[in-house]
Structure 1
């Protein structure tokens, strides 16, 4: 692009703000007041008498004050005339009352549009009924009743009266609208998570398309240098799709592997299919089909196909490929590379095939109180799962209830597909409720044909810390009856950075025969386990933490002891040092100990280098990562040299990604060592390409992969070949229209408020784009369709005279479309010289009505094919028609 989108938009806006109008101009539903000024000299671009006067589209979001607007009908003189003396601070210099409409803001939130009158004396009178309607959304019930009673029977209320009632209101030209100050004590009490899923969203939002959907394609082309199957691998394509019709979502995941090799064969595997419906009245998500349940406490879960209902204020999110299954197990359904982080530090990268895994099977996680696994499947999809010695100790607000109920038949992933076992009914679920400010309690269960687990949980906030406990009993065929208990306490001590600290303790006991219905045998190798952690900030630059664990072995299993000490020191604003010492006395008499030192240097905000040595595994790592840009054109790159100096092996890891307009492109090379170190189990290079087909109503477009919801912005036919840019700023944008369809913003999150802006830099001069932005609060897996521009995109400019030939000065009127009289009129404003500009016209006849004395009107004609600005010249009013 020859110049940044920001500069293009600014140039178009400035073109519309060069000649003065001492009146109000409606921009995108907001009101801006301007001071009178003389017209500027013509620019080089507009020197020709035939060139249209530059008029900008509405300002997206109505942000910022407006000073003047270009509505000049004739070429201007080059000499700049001094502006006439005016009262610079006047909001309404017309000398008469002006009825207007503007957004009412509560801080940064828009409560809605409201009618008001800007008096000739700069006073503001607001529609009382509409005001009480908007305030009812944010006021406590008692306070809402009070203000309704105070304003009962009044058509309008003044700012003075509102100030007396304790609700100061003012016109703010900086934000272009009305702003009301609401006392904190008058507001209703709201739970933030609950408000995000309810109908209490403040202000107006656009509605999603009635029908929308997308299909994502993420492909991987691999070459294996070392591993089970060397050479080029058959291309692998992950396909996931979602379609939404009137609130019901149908989603599906599948895998295709193309059999290009000699022994290969094309395979299509459907991984999961389900219908999802979010009920906002009960704040619950209903799902039918292949379920991915989550569990709490000891009860665990199993993969099911059937029906579920879930209320979770923080986790109403897309179904995930990697599923925590309760306790410390997880399931993956595609071959994946797993990188383990212990207490925030990367320790090992391994290669796993589809299956269910227990964290305790990984020797490098023994004795750790914070385990994070980053799982990247062969299609490049990244998921993160976390485990801790401490169970979930979150409190719920009083009266808030979370629950989940899953029922159906078992459908475990066997190999690369689900095995539907219709003769094995199963169910699981949990419920949690905040009993008061300091106590939350709950219950959970899992039931199958061969057994049952029932548990309870409690979390209490006390003076000594947050205390939580989980208790469960089980009975499983061929195993017997058992029980399990977990009790923990966590406490953080406040204060300055130099004295802040936190402690935690946990105790867990499982009887010999405790098991879940998924277990073939009871694997309770410890009679009990004890864990403790302590962290202390030594200063603003240093911290230390200590964790320990003791497991009392049962029968032939030995006791286990582990300890970990971590020290961190910020050597400079860019350089950090982390040191960790580990000791483990594990089963079968194996003792491990070692030290890991890590130096991290931040070159700038987007680039980091790392050097690390781990004596325990005899490994050293040197790496660098960087990223540049945002939106389309953004890229990132990283590289690591991983040295196993005990065996002399060297592994190279690297990746690079590029964000294109219609696709995500990536390349990676990964080396996986064996869990015990000393050998390389897999080394491969991968080229990855991700793209999507998006559909909203009757529009189709190619897009980058869509993770949840999306917005499609299509150019109106009147824009011709001009492209739409989504979220343009400086030299970046997030999407662009073109040959492959409308622009698609693929990164909208469910139930997250967001404003999406758009611009058309190459639109005809004076073309009215409309709002230039839209506000969304996307439901789950939804799509939006917005059209940039419309038939009503013409701006008319001219000079208005009354019946006596005198300029119609400083007056606001209306323009009605003759062929469509029911359509809302557009506003007409004149400056001191009678010059006017009318935005939002289309070809056809329009009747301009002005509140002169006597009232008068005139018919103007916009010829077919008119685009941008039409010069109307001198327009003379006649008797009202």
Structure 2
């Protein structure tokens, strides 16, 4: 048979499977008891392109053509096929669209203390938001009145004011006002007032940003696979025949061991073992993060409201995932005569090698230059961890912050070694060396040991020693016991600079669901004794607390409150402090409707049918639902659950479409009193906007969920039409039955 044989014969469309993988209907030519496939068809079913010839002539390919069923079963070793690689294990969650409403929010923190003088301090954040963005302003106020008649000290300080707009589809934000410049691990942030634009990964929280550990395998037949990471199952699913790649979310940081168990359609099981190292500080391959700022430096922050430098400053930061094991970054600053710039890299050389970090930067300012060098290494697994980093400067290295404060340290070196000895507890040893320009070295060594004595008791032992001053040392031993109802008791013995101290503490944490909490502490150091006691209550509308504190030579009483006020959706609400997204749930005026967040009841709608629901995650699906069991029978609900997706520090309005209906069950008969036939069409108030058509059921019954006070009902019968008029009962309760009505 020559090569033109594939163009002769008859056309066949066969249902094809390749090594158990269904390929659907595929076109072939059949001639001289052989099947021929075009290059496009061969690519479709996974047969490598080669010489144009019959499938029956390809070595290692078993061809089973069923004439009766018109099916084709192809079987071959994976090496003889081109089935591609199937990616599994990663859930592709579609980014939800945030819904934003207009509103105002006030977070507040009030604190008052009384000793020889009265002090009242407040912190507040005023936030206004709409679809365009968020305007936020924070401020402090102080009021101090001494016991001396006529003496009074008052003060108000504005902290930060800025406007921020977010663009989730691009993971981009723009901020105008007070902000902190972006920085890398070897550079410093500066507080400025100006324009900032850059990447914000939190705008797409379902998008993984760190490298995803990938595990490869191949299946000759369709198989089920299981992935175990450090003995814990992370994935369970099915793969078709061919190569596959399991991508998992990065829930492991450090070295680990993975095991892929594969069971094919014939019940045969194979196991593959992998070693890997994952560093969640790296960026995923191809992902870029950047930020740029232009403004003037804020001075005397927290003391004055409007103290800004006169010289503009420019800052920019950029990071890019070159691969899943290599992330590169750059940072630059400029102001007046200052220019500062540098690069850094984070690299994982091998599957169990750890992460190597390095940075190099240079600066020039008014003829003075300097350099910064940084080198670090980190490695960890379930038992052992090692982390070391050293950053040093030479010459006259400067950044923007140097002009308004202290220069960067000449040396900052830190090394920590940790070891989990299982039954013997956890050990760690650290070394710190630190030096500012024109200052002497500070060198410290520290050690720590901790062990769980029981499920509710822990023991900690710590040591800290100044290597240049042997008198500067401390050692402590602390026992902590956890009791029921969020209660904790701890005792500490500490030796600091040749003085022994004792501390006792007992507390009950404020319950997250609301309730009382308290704390009692006593401390004795040498001959000085101090103590403190506090009681607080956390409710739906905020937190209040009061206490008494006694320290050497002074004692005072204090009280405070934190919470928030929200104005949105036509209501004014009080709540705990809100730092993330929230929602106002509307039940369209129906009171006392239970509202649930992630299936947990969080409250009921008020007299206006409104409820504020806090602690929502911005740009994520927060499942909110209502309980309709106690709603009246004449109530219609469009839906009982929905996903609330608030934007950055903003609120969203959630409506469930609850409407009160005026239902009725109409009994219809003809002039002889016989029920109208089943299946006839009954139209309520034909020709009006509220027209509704239903089918008549058994015994001439027709149900309508919204009936007017005065109504006309028209019925289409097999032999014609009839009509009847009726009024809705004024004192009707539930679903009234009206009739029998004679339809004429």
CA distance in 1, matches of 2:163, 2:194: 10
Superposition deviation, residue 770 in structure 1: 4.6
- More off after superposition, 573-582 vs 727-736: 727-736
Alignment-derived partner of residue 201 in structure 1 = 95
CA distance in 1, matches of 2:163, 2:305: 17
Superposition deviation, residue 782 in structure 1: 2.3
Could you say if the C-alpha distance between residues 489 and 414 of structure 1 is closer, same or farther in structure 2, counting changes exceeding 3 Å?
closer
CA distance in 1, matches of 2:168, 2:598: 35
Alignment-derived partner of residue 130 in structure 2 = 245
Question: Do residues 635 (structure 1) and 510 (structure 2) align?
Answer: no
CA distance in 1, matches of 2:415, 2:722: 83
Contact 2:118 2:145 in 1 (8 A): no
Within 5 A, what are the aligned runs for 1:53-64?
none
Alignment-derived partner of residue 601 in structure 1 = 481
Superposition deviation, residue 640 in structure 1: 3.6
Alignment-derived partner of residue 171 in structure 2 = 283
**Secondary structure of the structure 2 residue equivalent to 1:615:** strand
**Secondary structure of the structure 2 residue equivalent to 1:693:** strand
Could you say if the C-alpha distance between residues 274 and 800 of structure 1 is closer, same or farther in structure 2, counting changes exceeding 3 Å?
farther
Contact 2:477 2:492 in 1 (8 A): yes
Q: Where is the strand percentage greater, Structure 1 or Structure 2?
A: 2
Question: Do residues 754 (structure 1) and 631 (structure 2) align?
Answer: no
The count of corresponding residues between Structure 1 and Structure 2 is 580
Superposition deviation, residue 395 in structure 1: 0.6
Could you say if the C-alpha distance between residues 848 and 289 of structure 1 is closer, same or farther in structure 2, counting changes exceeding 3 Å?
farther
CA distance in 2, matches of 1:466, 1:855: 86
Alignment-derived partner of residue 427 in structure 1 = 314
Contact 1:609 1:624 in 2 (8 A): yes
The alignment's TM-score, normalised by the length of structure 2, stands at 0.66
Could you say if the C-alpha distance between residues 515 and 246 of structure 1 is closer, same or farther in structure 2, counting changes exceeding 3 Å?
same
Contact 2:595 2:601 in 1 (8 A): no
Could you say if the C-alpha distance between residues 219 and 804 of structure 1 is closer, same or farther in structure 2, counting changes exceeding 3 Å?
same
Within 5 A, what are the aligned runs for 1:203-222?
207-209=99-101, 211-222=102-113
Please give the per-residue CA displacement for 1:648-686, whole angstroms capped at 9, x wherever unaligned: 3223253423214x34323345578xxxxxx67x86543
Which structure has more relative contact order (CA 8 Å, sep 6+)? It is 1
Question: Do residues 580 (structure 1) and 462 (structure 2) align?
Answer: yes
Please give the per-residue CA displacement for 1:501-533, whole angstroms capped at 9, x wherever unaligned: 222222232224223232259977976454322
State which of 657, 675, 689 in structure 2 corresponds to 1:805: 675
Alignment-derived partner of residue 743 in structure 1 = 611
Alignment-derived partner of residue 429 in structure 2 = 547
Q: Which blocks of at least 5 consecutive residues in structure 1 are unaligned?
A: 1-145, 147-163, 165-183, 318-391, 495-499, 673-678
**Secondary structure of the structure 2 residue equivalent to 1:445:** strand
Superposition deviation, residue 311 in structure 1: 0.8
Alignment-derived partner of residue 191 in structure 2 = 303
Contact 1:623 1:638 in 2 (8 A): no
State which of 352, 356, 359 in structure 2 corresponds to 1:467: 356
**Secondary structure of the structure 2 residue equivalent to 1:519:** helix
- More off after superposition, 590-599 vs 550-559: 550-559
Question: Do residues 709 (structure 1) and 709 (structure 2) align?
Answer: no
Q: Which blocks of at least 5 consecutive residues in structure 2 are unaligned?
A: 1-43, 45-70, 72-84, 206-278
Alignment-derived partner of residue 128 in structure 1 = none
Within 5 A, what are the aligned runs for 1:499-518?
500-518=383-401
Contact 2:682 2:716 in 1 (8 A): no
Could you say if the C-alpha distance between residues 556 and 275 of structure 1 is closer, same or farther in structure 2, counting changes exceeding 3 Å?
closer
Alignment-derived partner of residue 401 in structure 1 = 288
CA distance in 1, matches of 2:555, 2:182: 34
**Secondary structure of the structure 1 residue equivalent to 2:472:** strand
The alignment's TM-score, normalised by the length of structure 1, stands at 0.57
CA distance in 2, matches of 1:829, 1:592: 94
Within 5 A, what are the aligned runs for 1:487-506?
487-494=375-382, 500-506=383-389
Superposition deviation, residue 396 in structure 1: 0.6
CA distance in 2, matches of 1:815, 1:625: 69
CA distance in 2, matches of 1:421, 1:291: 13
CA distance in 1, matches of 2:709, 2:560: 53
Please give the per-residue CA displacement for 1:453-472, whole angstroms capped at 9, x wherever unaligned: 21212111223101112222
CA distance in 2, matches of 1:545, 1:814: 82
For the pair shown, which has the larger CA radius of gyration, 1 or 2? 2
Contact 1:286 1:307 in 2 (8 A): yes
Alignment-derived partner of residue 102 in structure 1 = none
Question: Do residues 689 (structure 1) and 561 (structure 2) align?
Answer: yes
**Secondary structure of the structure 2 residue equivalent to 1:604:** coil
Superposition deviation, residue 822 in structure 1: 8.6
Could you say if the C-alpha distance between residues 864 and 404 of structure 1 is closer, same or farther in structure 2, counting changes exceeding 3 Å?
farther
Superposition deviation, residue 428 in structure 1: 1.6
State which of 416, 420, 423 in structure 2 corresponds to 1:533: 416
Could you say if the C-alpha distance between residues 298 and 670 of structure 1 is closer, same or farther in structure 2, counting changes exceeding 3 Å?
farther
Could you say if the C-alpha distance between residues 189 and 524 of structure 1 is closer, same or farther in structure 2, counting changes exceeding 3 Å?
same
CA distance in 2, matches of 1:856, 1:571: 87
Superposition deviation, residue 779 in structure 1: 0.8
Contact 1:819 1:844 in 2 (8 A): no
State which of 715, 723, 733 in structure 1 corresponds to 2:602: 733
Alignment-derived partner of residue 162 in structure 2 = 274
Contact 1:476 1:517 in 2 (8 A): no
Please give the per-residue CA displacement for 1:135-185, whole angstroms capped at 9, x wherever unaligned: xxxxxxxxxxx9xxxxxxxxxxxxxxxxx9xxxxxxxxxxxxxxxxxxx94
Contact 2:694 2:703 in 1 (8 A): no
Within 5 A, what are the aligned runs for 1:552-571?
557-571=439-453
Contact 2:628 2:640 in 1 (8 A): no
Superposition deviation, residue 277 in structure 1: 0.5
Could you say if the C-alpha distance between residues 238 and 767 of structure 1 is closer, same or farther in structure 2, counting changes exceeding 3 Å?
same
State which of 644, 648, 661 in structure 1 corresponds to 2:524: 644
Within 5 A, what are the aligned runs for 1:813-832?
821=689
Question: Do residues 625 (structure 1) and 507 (structure 2) align?
Answer: yes
Question: Do residues 664 (structure 1) and 551 (structure 2) align?
Answer: no
Could you say if the C-alpha distance between residues 561 and 727 of structure 1 is closer, same or farther in structure 2, counting changes exceeding 3 Å?
same
Superposition deviation, residue 444 in structure 1: 1.0
CA distance in 1, matches of 2:95, 2:164: 22
**Secondary structure of the structure 1 residue equivalent to 2:646:** coil
CA distance in 2, matches of 1:292, 1:420: 16
Contact 2:168 2:204 in 1 (8 A): no
Please give the per-residue CA displacement for 1:237-271, whole angstroms capped at 9, x wherever unaligned: 33312222322222222334457764336544332
Superposition deviation, residue 628 in structure 1: 6.3
Contact 2:508 2:519 in 1 (8 A): no
Contact 1:213 1:783 in 2 (8 A): no
Superposition deviation, residue 438 in structure 1: 0.7
Superposition deviation, residue 834 in structure 1: 9.2
Question: Do residues 437 (structure 1) and 324 (structure 2) align?
Answer: yes
Alignment-derived partner of residue 339 in structure 1 = none
Alignment-derived partner of residue 181 in structure 2 = 293
Superposition deviation, residue 294 in structure 1: 3.4
Contact 2:675 2:699 in 1 (8 A): no
Alignment-derived partner of residue 416 in structure 1 = 303
**Secondary structure of the structure 1 residue equivalent to 2:400:** coil
Alignment-derived partner of residue 46 in structure 1 = none
CA distance in 2, matches of 1:260, 1:814: 80
